[in-house]
Amino acid sequence: QLQLQESGPGLVKPSETMSLTCTVSGGSISSSSYYWAWIRQPPGKGLECIGSLSYSGSTYYNPSLKSRVTISVDTSKNHFSLKLSSVTAADTAVYYCARQADFYYYIDVWGKGTTVTVSS
């Protein structure tokens, strides 16, 4: 059974770059049938797609975040990563990594989420 686990700092200072990693277990990140995605949820608010990529390198980013976001994959470690630069308090959220089906783009496997707080 595929499982995803987010990891990274829970506290980031304003203007810095936050980095999160999602480790995939129980399956290979190199599958051509899936994209690997990041979604976030600010406290008390709804879900927001950050972006996704395939193991071959195809990427999609939310236009509102595109200038600050980098998503990358490391097939040797079976994990993928999120970098978000120039963070502000508005980036405080629970960050989920997820598996997204290719072509139809529904999310069928989610990590448990990790809380990132932006504060000095």
Interface residue list for another protein (CB under 8 A): 37, 39, 46-52, 60-63, 96, 100-101, 104-108, 110-113
Residues 95 and 20: beta-carbon distance below 8 Å: yes
The residue (of 16 and 65) whose beta carbon lies closer to another protein is 65
Least distance to another protein, CB of residue 45, Å:
8
Least distance to another protein, CB of residue 35, Å:
10
The residue (of 61 and 80) whose beta carbon lies closer to another protein is 61
Least distance to another protein, CB of residue 10, Å:
16
The residue (of 10 and 63) whose beta carbon lies closer to another protein is 63
